[in-house]
Amino acid sequence: MMRETKSFRTESAGKFRFLMIMILILSLGAGFSSCTSQKKAAKKKAAQELAEKKERAKTDLLAIINDTGKMTLEEKEFKLAAVKRMELDDEEINGLIGRAEEIIARERAALERKKEDERLQREREARERELREGGQYRDINLSLDAVANAGDVSAANMKIREALAAFSNDDVPVLILISQEGDIKDYDRPTTIRKYLEFIKDQKKSPNKVLHAVFDSNGKIKELELIKK
């Protein structure tokens, strides 16, 4: 009886160890399977995210390449920079990047040329304006300034005589433009060249410059239009 009991206990212990070993094996297998599943899921997610990035990059690059004027140059440059920051190792995307870069480079060069042309145009207009305002009427403006800047009354009177030599007479009308709206001009009270020269002599400043002058057949000024400097 004792032998049977001992044998039964030994057999039970063996079965218990076998059961524990199987549980351990199953647990390890389940853990390994779970870890493998997680890795596969992570890999699948990463692949999906990469595919989405590539698709977004292609969409942005093609938007640059096929743009018909809806995007500004700055917007195109921003999109291209964003795609480059993705650092996608894809032959098709690299090709699209190259095409986008060429388009942006051409547009940037065209924009810079336009800016330069506009700058040169402004300079030409400024020179023409300077020639028109300070060239044709340069001597008259200098005569007016000379009267205002004379050191004393005697010198000022001499400058007045010199200035009057350019006019047909002392009573040549002088109009001082105050404002203009379209073709409607508003002038200060009319005066004569003699009175105006006496005025700037007393004020010791020449606040106006020649806007327009009318000459007679002898080349003398018979009407003068001034505007504030």
d(CA 56, CA 168): 79
* pLDDT tens-digit map of 170-189: 999 999 999 988 888 899 99
In this structure, the answer to whether residues 20 and 81 fall within a common structural domain is: yes
State mean pLDDT over 98-123. Answer: 92
State residue 135's pLDDT score. Answer: 62
pLDDT for 80 beyond 70: yes
CA-based nearest residue to 159, from 203, 192, 195, 197 = 197
pLDDT for 165 beyond 50: yes
Under the banding of pLDDT at 50, 70 and 90, the label for residue 2 is very low
pLDDT for 8 beyond 70: no
Residues with Cβ within 8 Å of residue 228, at least 6 apart in sequence = 176, 177, 207, 208, 209
Under the banding of pLDDT at 50, 70 and 90, the label for residue 145 is very high
pLDDT for 144 beyond 90: yes
221, β-bridge pairs: 167, 215
Confirm whether 91 is domain-assigned.
yes
d(CA 132, CA 210): 10
Domain residues for 43? 13-107
Structural domains counted in the chain: 2
Task: Round the average pLDDT of the chain to a whole number and report it.
Answer: 85
Lowest mean pLDDT among 16-25, 113-122, 210-219: 16-25
pLDDT for 155 beyond 70: yes
In this structure, the answer to whether residues 146 and 198 fall within a common structural domain is: yes
Answer with the one of 88, 107, 126 that is the final residue of a domain. Answer: 107
In this structure, the answer to whether residues 161 and 200 fall within a common structural domain is: yes
Confirm whether 130 is domain-assigned.
no
* pLDDT tens-digit map of 51-72: 899 999 999 999 999 999 899 9
Q: What is the percent of the chain where pLDDT is above 70?
A: 80
Answer with the one of 87, 107, 127 that is the final residue of a domain. Answer: 107
Confirm whether 127 is domain-assigned.
no
pTM of the model: 0.44
In this structure, the answer to whether residues 100 and 177 fall within a common structural domain is: no
**79-86: which pairs have CB atoms within 8 A and are 24 or more residues apart?**
80/104, 83/57, 86/53, 86/57
In this structure, the answer to whether residues 190 and 142 fall within a common structural domain is: yes
Confirm whether 168 is domain-assigned.
yes
State mean pLDDT over 113-128. Answer: 83
In this structure, the answer to whether residues 221 and 162 fall within a common structural domain is: yes
* pLDDT tens-digit map of 23-34: 666 665 555 555
Confirm whether 71 is domain-assigned.
yes
Under the banding of pLDDT at 50, 70 and 90, the label for residue 130 is low
Confirm whether 132 is domain-assigned.
no
